[in-house]
Every structure is written in C-alpha cells, then in structure tokens.
Amino acid sequence: MAKSREKIVFVCQECGASRPRWHGQCPACGAWNTMVETVIKPEPRVRRRAGAPRNVPQRLPAISADGLERLPLPMPEFSRVLGGGIVPGSLVLVGGDPGIGKSTLLLQVAALVSETSGDVLYVSGEESVQQIKMRADRLGITTDHLLLLTETNLETIISHIEQLRPCMAVIDSIQTVYLEDLTSAAGSVSQVRESAARLMHVAKGQGLPIFLVGHVTKAGAIAGPRVLEHIVDTVLYLEGDRFHAYRLLRSVKNRFGATAEVGVFEMGNEGLTEVANPSEAFLAERLPQAAGSAIAVTMEGTRPLLLEIQALASTTSFGLPRRTANGIDFNRLLLLVAVLARRVGLRLSDQDVFVNVIGGLRVSEPAADLAVATAIASSFRNAPVAADMALVGEVGLSGELRSVSQLDRRLNEAAKLGFRRCLVPKSWRRGVTANANIEVLTARSLAEALDLALIR
Ligand code: TYD
Ligand code: MG
C-alpha cells in the first residue's frame, strides 16, 4: 500500500519549483528543459530527533556569543574572504568551474586547519583516497589530523561526523552525495537541497563548520543555484581563466562578513599560493612605453586592484570591423568605441578593435572605462600613455567623465605601487585620507583626458 502514496512531480533543476505535470519551460523561472520527473515518497523530510534540544526564546543580554569564536585560518586571503576566520557551525559553499582548483584549495585549507585546531574530515565523492593522497603529497601535506573518506551516502557521512567529532568537515562535492530517502538521482535539485539542509542541521547542531564544493553548470550557476544559495550561510566562487595562473576567490553571500571581498591566489606546482600584493603581480610584465596599454584602478570589494588594460586597433581587412573583448563586457566595449568615434572623433569604423585585461581577470566596474577608452585611443594614435599614470573614471554617452566610488583608496593603492600621477573625473574632491604623494589630474571629458594622458 505504501507505494500508492508515492507521488510523481516534475521539479525544475534551476529553481526547484515543482509542478504536477511536465512543462517545456518552467512556469516559475522561465528556464527551458529543466523539469525532471521526481518521485516523492511520503515523509522524506528530516524529522527532529527525539531528545534534540528545543530552542526557547532568550533575552539578548543573557545570550553569550562565546561559542561563535572563529577558528583561525592561517591563510589570510581565504580568511579575509570569510570575514576573518571560520565561523563554527557555518555552512560554506565553494563554487567554480570544473578544474579551477576547488578541491586543491579546500584540501589545503583542511590541512592548515587540522594543523592548528584538530581533526578535519575531508569527504570526497569524486576521487579515491589514493588520488587525494597523491595530491596531498604534491602539496606537501603531512599532517596527522587530516582524515580522508570516500563516500557518497550522506547518512554514512553524517554518522562518521558524529563519531569522529572533527573540528571541520569538507564535502567534495554536494552534487555527488545522496540521501537514500529520496528517489531522484544524486545531483538533482531535490537531492542537493535535502542534502544541504541535512548538513546545515548537522553544522548548527554540532557547531561544526562544513565546506561544500559545488560545481557550476554551463549557464554559470551552481546546479540548483537558488535553492542552495538560500540554505547555506556563505557562498564563495573560485574564478579565473584556466590558462592563467591567477584565481580569485569571491564571496557573493556571507552571513558573517562583508560580501564582495576577494582573495587572490596563484595556481602553481605546489597548489594555490596566496598573492599578497596582486597589483604588483598583475603589472609585472608591463612594457611601460608601449602604445595601447593603460592602467586602471578597479575595486574588488574593499580592495583596490591595479590592472593593465591592453588594446589593439588595426585596419580591418574585411568589410565589417571586428570588436573583441577579453575580460571586459562586450557591450561596454561597443559603447566605448562608439563614444570614441562620435565624441572624440576617432575614425574607428574601419578598425578591428581588440581589448584584453592582463592576467585573465574580468573587470565589470565602469570605473575602468577611462582606461579602456584610453588604451584604444593610444593604440589607434600610436601614442603611449605616460608610464607613471593610472586612470580612473566612468565614461558617459556624451563623452563626459563621471565620478566613481572610493577614489581615495584607489589613489592610495596607485601611489603605493609607484604611480606618480592619476587621471580622474573633474568632480572629484580630495578626501582626508588621500595620499599626498600622487599628483591628481582632472578632466571633464574623454577628449580632455586623452590630451592629458597620451604622449605625442
Ligand atoms: P582541482 O582542485 O582538481 O579542481 P576542481 O576540484 O575545481 O575541479 O584542480 C585541478 C587543476 O589544478 C588541474 O588542472 C591541475 C591543477 N593543479 C596544479 O596546477 N597544481 C597543483 O599543485 C594541483 C594540486 C593541481
Ligand atoms: Mg574537484
């Protein structure tokens, strides 16, 4: 009889909406071809265990925050992204493209925490313990307190956690674990959601920090993205170009710290190493007097980053000029080319224009507009940008320069790296924290800025 109580629904793998009938397009989020047939058994939900403590309302002064002391993590770049260490009982999702270095990063973090704080359990559903051991050898990890487990059954994993009582656990990856109660395949939205909810329960119940690895789908979101992002406390993305060594760890949600914080790492033979001074690293290979190169000062979270932007304008050999953007938004490039053509009078209509951000990074901030436009003009006129100059500013459609946030911090970073001049929008007012070692040039429009920046 039990079987007849099973229900069949169709669950959207994007947003988790369920419908009694199949739809080609999810009625809730509009995604196509994402509805998957799912059998729902009665009572699959996690129930409160007998004897588990019930919560009662407490008065604010009576609550102590002592239990929330963060575990120290001797990896400052990672620690800062988390908001200053690992919060006990937190569930942290680390997402990223396959092969970007998620397993490597978390194995290194697990080893560091195990050296300072005690046993750490690293559960892999993707690699055998021998494979992980080989990687650990390569990374030079020798700690006694790191326990490896290959397992995909979540109930078994949780019983190991309850027995071992580690001070941190890593689940690599959330898409490979499954709950037997659910009939859908591992990696489906219902499995991912229920597994994460179960792990949240364990994390909060034991005060145990748990890191989940999540794969990114083709569309660029973690499978079952919205459901997972809502459940976990913190969402970090490891990004970067596979062909470049630099990796950015970005926090997009954090219940225990600021979001938009960024950690910079470099992938090498000994795994990921921290890059303490990224601006310096990104500028290392610059040719100072080359035409078509400009330095932008962008902000990643609270952190200023100096980046080299390169452009090449060359006469097209086809009827239709090409525009290629690498590291900046393509539409932003089209806009800047149009502004350069109409407001500055550059004849770009028969030019192929290529723009590249050095280091495989992506810039989404409009504050880099001025540097991008200047690099294009510099290449087109074959006139280099002054080598000691950095550029900051948003370019508007009338060719005007618009002010950007946190200019003082950007100026300080540029000064720190030895830039003696910075070109900024006219509306800027020097704040009290600005560095006096850098000369600030101002321009009202893009045309004015090019006159100041390019050497003829
Ligand atoms: P991995 O951590 O397995 O990626 P993910 O878990 O995100 O899928 O990283 C695999 C890549 O990292 C692989 O291309 C090899 C490279 N790598 C190094 O370059 N150096 C190293 O020391 C390690 C361990 C990996
Ligand atoms: Mg992996």
Please name the residue that has the structure tokens 């560095």: 435
Range in 220-234, 349-363, 435-449 with the lowest mean pLDDT = 220-234
Average pLDDT of the segment spanning 305-322:
91
Q: Which residues line ligand 1 (CB under 6 A)?
A: 96, 98-104, 135, 138-139, 267, 269-271
Q: Which CATH number fits domain 281-453: 1.20.1070.10, 3.20.20.70, 2.70.70.10, 3.30.230.10?
A: 3.30.230.10
Look up residue 275 and give its two tokens: 């890059």
Res. 178: pLDDT tops 80: yes
What is the helix (H) or strand (E) element at residue 313, kind and residue range?
strand 303-315
Q: State how far Cα 370 lies from the chain centre.
A: 25
Question: Is pLDDT larger for residue 189 or for residue 337?
Answer: 337
Sorting pLDDT into bands at 50, 70 and 90, what band is 67?
Answer: low
Please name the residue that has the structure tokens 């504050």: 367
pLDDT at 4: 53
Identify any residues that bridge with 239 across adjacent strands, giving them in sequence order. Answer: 248
Sorting pLDDT into bands at 50, 70 and 90, what band is 62?
Answer: confident
pTM of the full structure: 0.78
Ligand nearest to the CA of 106: 1
What is the helix (H) or strand (E) element at residue 259, kind and residue range?
none
Q: Can you tell me the distance from the alpha carbon of 92 to that of 196, in angstroms, rounded to the nearest whole number?
A: 10
The minimum-distance atom of ligand 1 relative to the CA of 126 is: 6
Q: Can you tell me the distance from the alpha carbon of 5 to that of 64, in angstroms, rounded to the nearest whole number?
A: 46
Q: What average pLDDT does the chain have? A: 87
173 cis-preceded (ω within 30 degrees of 0): yes
**% of the chain residues with pLDDT over 90:** 50
How much distance in Å is there from the Cα of 173 to the middle of ligand 2?
Answer: 7
Q: Can you tell me the distance from the alpha carbon of 125 to that of 215, in angstroms, rounded to the nearest whole number?
A: 13
pLDDT at 1: 44
Q: Can you tell me the distance from the alpha carbon of 416 to that of 104, in angstroms, rounded to the nearest whole number?
A: 32
CATH homologous superfamily of 70-276 equals: P-loop containing nucleotide triphosphate hydrolases (3.40.50.300)
Res. 2: pLDDT tops 80: no
The minimum-distance atom of ligand 1 relative to the CA of 135 is: 24
Ligand nearest to the CA of 95: 1
